[in-house]
Structure 1
Amino acid sequence: MYVFTAYALRAFFTQLLTFQTCSKKTTGRVLNAVLDVSLRQIGALYGLPSEVYERAGIPQEIAQNLDVIALCRRKCHLGQDNIHYALAVRLRATGAVDVLFPESHDWISYPRAGIELGQIFSRARRDRNYLKTVQLKGIDLAKFAADVITQVGEHPTLVLIEADVWRNERGEENGGQVWFQLKNENLLAKRDVLDFQHVPGHACIYTRNHSHLKNLLGIIRFRSGDETNQYITNRQAWHENSPARDLIRLSGFYDNSIPDLLHYFSVGKLPETQKAQDTPTVRELYMLDSQNDEYGANIAFKHQQMLEIVPFFVHPDFQKTEESLKSLCRVPHYLRYSPAWSMGNILFPYPMHLGKHLIEDHLCILGVEV
């Protein structure tokens, strides 16, 4: 904690910095250190993101200028205090990564953001009057989301946001005021508007023809974990009683049972480090039914997680065909690939992954054990 605090105060960027310990895995640790310096800390990618967007089906003239903005948050406890902080990460078509803080109006580079975030957390730890800046309430999150979305700039932009917490914040002090539109019961009916009537500084419903939103291609809501299905089947496979199997590569599926609101499901590829589950011994086993079976007990369900991707407030040009709508979904789907984790896929798209870990890696300055 004190080491990270000192680095932050002296303007050194230390995200994902690890200290050498005696271990048989020295080679792996050295490789991680090299990846930290050469890829992770500078937000590097193999090639240009614009190439990924074109592969997803985005027209070339849009792909070459597309910004992908992810709204990221992290909540944890520090004694009797709740720490709740959010930021936005912007991945440009050129591969540049920028960050925007709630209390700022300007985007800054990702390495510089690590330094400034460390300084923010350090000041909050020393000065309780400043602590509220890292204790965002529900309405603070709503205002930050509204500000980011309505100030997308001159480049075509796709905004990514999780449903969890952003759709509602429990607690009397918050009044549940975040962004209710993200709830399932509201999203379909309000899919072509942005309802920020309850947000200070906005207090209105934005429509697709608003001048500030002409470059916003759409917003994508994510759900994961126990909110999503964790297997894929179809009627033919179900009736054939086909054996269970792993997905060995990044795979995408979509559900068109609700025609007006596409649900796209992204499943990461099977990590190379995970023990294969598609064997006669482990097939069809449940972990609780095989407590004394080493094969059943070793089934690692945690690795391949399904991510639900739902686009809304979509630009009219991308509503013309189902294929154009799916191309927007493929952008975050393909961005689950990271050059620093090539043996599998990260759970969230690259800019959201960077934002979440930027916050998490500096929480130790506040005294939070992650």
Structure 2
Amino acid sequence: MHIFLIYREQNTCEVVYQQLRDVFLLNENEDFPQDITVSKILIDDATLLQPLNTGGFLPKDRSKFDQQIRKQHQAKREAWRTFLQESVIPLINFETNPHCLAIIEIGRIKIKGILPQQNIKGAIREACVREGINSQMIQSIPTAKPKSSDTEDDEDKSPSYSKPTKGRVMSAVLDGTLRQIGALYGLPSQVYEQAKIPKEIGQELDVIAFCRRKTSQYQGDIHYALAVRLRATGAVDVLLPDANDWIPYTQAGIAVGKIFAEARRDRQENKKRLQSKIKLNGTELVQFVARVVTKHLGKPTIVLIEAEGWRNGRGEDNDGKIWPQLQNENLLAKRNVLDFCHVPGHTCEYTRNNKQLQNLLAVIRIRAGRETPQYITNREAWNEDCAARDFPHLSGFYDQSAPELLHYFSVGRLPKTQKLQNEMPIPELYKLGFQDDEYGANIPFKHQQMLEILPFFIHPNFQKEESLKALCRIPHYLRCSPAWFMGNILVPYPMHIGKELIEDYLCILGVNLQI
């Protein structure tokens, strides 16, 4: 891997470089491993970091404002491409370091008088995509205060940066060096063995997660999906809706970025995209699912799919149907089939004896957020009428009230940044908050999250209760990421990195411009 630290301020360079060394667990006099190259490049042209020029137009000017921002985006993109071609590309040896990551300082985002549409993040990311470079943006680091000295002869006068500053930089560095390449600290097969999956199956097991992202017509009008496959060896691959073959996760970012960059040319009416690759309708989404499940399972496989957004789609074609089998009222009756009767090219119900599905161990439906209870109690706490308490560890529970379908509940451990509720002056249950995403009201990320894990279409060898629990433990145990060490992630790892992959490149379309 070749990592480029592209900076404007020396403070930013110092902090990012030190956090980069910490990620690789280097001692003071140690060098980076032989297969890691780190290059520092100064941004010597301050205009590269200037916000997009509105030309005096305001958002209320609509088409004129949009046209001006579009022109400025293109100009900024080309300026950065020139900078990369002159300062970065000549340093890359694609034979020895095929994967390149640029950690780029882009100034401060929230500045009085600067509109969100003037953010340069999307233009820089598109420039990196077109040059085949993965990127991670970071805001400028505030000037550090000198370390206080207790004695006059203390020679350590190096600057001191706050914990929040170091934490923010560390998160960015971890995301770029670990999450963006799909890295794990160990073999997934070892996790599957702990989940009580038979060893001979666990060493071959694939976990495939379907990931989607939808925005409104005023936020890009996107409905895009992809599939992520985590292999027992730790290899991570991605299948895009219009592709026939899996590609490594390390290459998928550039591929998705190019698709989004081309989508800037989409024809639109009233901010709605027409015949776009990044706006899939309900039929296209379920066709993608059916194709992956019936044609792309080479080894024993567990498939993960969320109920939200996959069971139906408001205002979509095909009477709003995507995969209605995922609805509660249908799942019990059809738990032993895959109902693709409404899917062009399939129009049937697949049963367990179908040869195309011999490698499919189970499909697991995931529900989260408002669709799951966000707190539980045990008999002891109920009888004692005591306050609810947080779980200090990742915890799993199962519901025996519906024996035909095992309902497994996964609760993430309390993040390190939060105090236990029983330590708070006023104990309280998990609160609902608001976030500007497609789900509307959500549980704040700082609180523990509960997932409902429900397997169906189960292989005959896994239909006993203990085997069902083993299947459910896999997405439960996979709620972890080396790039997020403060607690558990909301969804299983392959689903998490798939969602983040799409999220990374929305900024090219002027969506999600926050860092």
TM-score scaled by length of structure 1 = 0.91
Instruction: Give the root-mean-square deviation of aligned CA atoms.
Output: 2.1
Question: SS state of the match for residue 251, structure 2?
Answer: helix
Aligned equivalents of 1:234 and 1:221: distance in 2? Answer: 25
| Counterparts of residues 215-294 of structure 1 (less than 5 Å) | 215-279=359-423, 281-284=425-428
Q: Which stretch of the first structure deviates more once superposed, 278-287 or 349-358?
A: 278-287
After TM superposition, give the deviation of residue 339 of structure 1 in Å.
Answer: 1.3
Q: Residue type of the partner of 1:347?
A: L
Question: SS state of the match for residue 452, structure 2?
Answer: strand
After TM superposition, give the deviation of residue 138 of structure 1 in Å.
Answer: 1.0
* Residue aligning to 1:292: none
Aligned equivalents of 1:282 and 1:300: distance in 2? Answer: 18
Structure 1 residues 335, 248: closer, same or farther in 2, change over 3 A? same
Structure 1 residues 114, 278: closer, same or farther in 2, change over 3 A? same
Matched residue pairs, number?
357
Of the three residues 130, 137, 141, the one matched with 1:22 is 141
* Residue aligning to 1:185: 329
Aligned equivalents of 1:240 and 1:317: distance in 2? Answer: 42
Question: SS state of the match for residue 88, structure 1?
Answer: strand
| Alpha-carbon contact 1:274-1:300 (below 8 Å) kept | no
| Alpha-carbon contact 2:302-2:361 (below 8 Å) kept | yes
Question: SS state of the match for residue 158, structure 1?
Answer: strand
After TM superposition, give the deviation of residue 275 of structure 1 in Å.
Answer: 2.8
| Counterparts of residues 165-180 of structure 1 (less than 5 Å) | 165-171=309-315, 173-180=317-324
Task: Note the alpha carbon deviations across 1:118-159, whole angstroms, 9 max, x for none.
Answer: 000000112439861111111111111111111243310000
After TM superposition, give the deviation of residue 284 of structure 1 in Å.
Answer: 4.7
| Alpha-carbon contact 1:124-1:130 (below 8 Å) kept | no
Aligned equivalents of 1:32 and 1:81: distance in 2? Answer: 27
Structure 1 residues 29, 283: closer, same or farther in 2, change over 3 A? closer
Task: Note the alpha carbon deviations across 1:48-91, whole angstroms, 9 max, x for none.
Answer: 00000000010000000100000000001343862100000000
Structure 1 residues 135, 282: closer, same or farther in 2, change over 3 A? same
Q: Which stretch of the first structure deviates more once superposed, 20-29 or 86-95?
A: 20-29
Aligned equivalents of 2:213 and 2:480: distance in 1? Answer: 22
Of the three residues 344, 350, 353, the one matched with 2:487 is 344
* Residue aligning to 2:256: 117
Aligned equivalents of 1:227 and 1:30: distance in 2? Answer: 34
After TM superposition, give the deviation of residue 174 of structure 1 in Å.
Answer: 4.5
Q: Which stretch of the first structure deviates more once superposed, 120-129 or 102-111?
A: 120-129
Of the three residues 245, 251, 264, the one matched with 1:106 is 245
Matched, 1:360 2:492: no
Structure 1 residues 108, 130: closer, same or farther in 2, change over 3 A? farther
Question: SS state of the match for residue 246, structure 1?
Answer: coil
* Residue aligning to 1:49: 188
Aligned equivalents of 1:202 and 1:286: distance in 2? Answer: 43
Structure 1 residues 60, 133: closer, same or farther in 2, change over 3 A? same
| Counterparts of residues 29-178 of structure 1 (less than 5 Å) | 29-79=168-218, 82-128=221-267, 132-171=276-315, 173-178=317-322
Q: Residue type of the partner of 1:143?
A: Q
After TM superposition, give the deviation of residue 177 of structure 1 in Å.
Answer: 1.8
After TM superposition, give the deviation of residue 268 of structure 1 in Å.
Answer: 0.2
Q: Residue type of the partner of 1:92?
A: R
| Alpha-carbon contact 2:375-2:429 (below 8 Å) kept | no
After TM superposition, give the deviation of residue 36 of structure 1 in Å.
Answer: 3.1
Q: Which runs of 5+ in 2 are unaligned?
A: 1-121, 143-161, 268-272, 433-442
Matched, 1:311 2:455: yes
After TM superposition, give the deviation of residue 279 of structure 1 in Å.
Answer: 2.5
Aligned equivalents of 2:238 and 2:283: distance in 1? Answer: 21
- Whose RCO is larger (CA < 8 A, sep 6+)? 1
Task: Note the alpha carbon deviations across 1:261-318, whole angstroms, 9 max, x for none.
Answer: 0000000000001133212622257979xxxxxxxxxx97852010000000010000
Question: SS state of the match for residue 244, structure 1?
Answer: coil
Question: SS state of the match for residue 421, structure 2?
Answer: coil
Question: SS state of the match for residue 309, structure 1?
Answer: strand
* Residue aligning to 2:75: none
* Residue aligning to 1:328: 471
After TM superposition, give the deviation of residue 94 of structure 1 in Å.
Answer: 0.5
After TM superposition, give the deviation of residue 164 of structure 1 in Å.
Answer: 0.5
| Alpha-carbon contact 2:311-2:326 (below 8 Å) kept | yes
Aligned equivalents of 1:302 and 1:175: distance in 2? Answer: 38
* Residue aligning to 1:6: 127
Aligned equivalents of 1:313 and 1:287: distance in 2? Answer: 35
Question: SS state of the match for residue 342, structure 1?
Answer: coil
Greater C-alpha Rg: 2
| Alpha-carbon contact 2:481-2:493 (below 8 Å) kept | yes
Taking every aligned residue pair, what percent have the same amino acid on both sides? 63
Task: Note the alpha carbon deviations across 1:204-229, whole angstroms, 9 max, x for none.
Answer: 10000100000100000011111001
Task: Note the alpha carbon deviations across 1:211-250, whole angstroms, 9 max, x for none.
Answer: 0000100000011111001111234432221321110000
Structure 1 residues 281, 26: closer, same or farther in 2, change over 3 A? closer
| Alpha-carbon contact 1:123-1:130 (below 8 Å) kept | no
Aligned equivalents of 1:362 and 1:345: distance in 2? Answer: 24
| Alpha-carbon contact 1:121-1:366 (below 8 Å) kept | yes
Q: Residue type of the partner of 1:208?
A: R
* Residue aligning to 1:294: none
Aligned equivalents of 1:179 and 1:227: distance in 2? Answer: 18
Aligned equivalents of 1:287 and 1:198: distance in 2? Answer: 39
Question: SS state of the match for residue 207, structure 2?
Answer: strand
Q: Residue type of the partner of 2:206?
A: D
Q: Residue type of the partner of 2:203?
A: Q
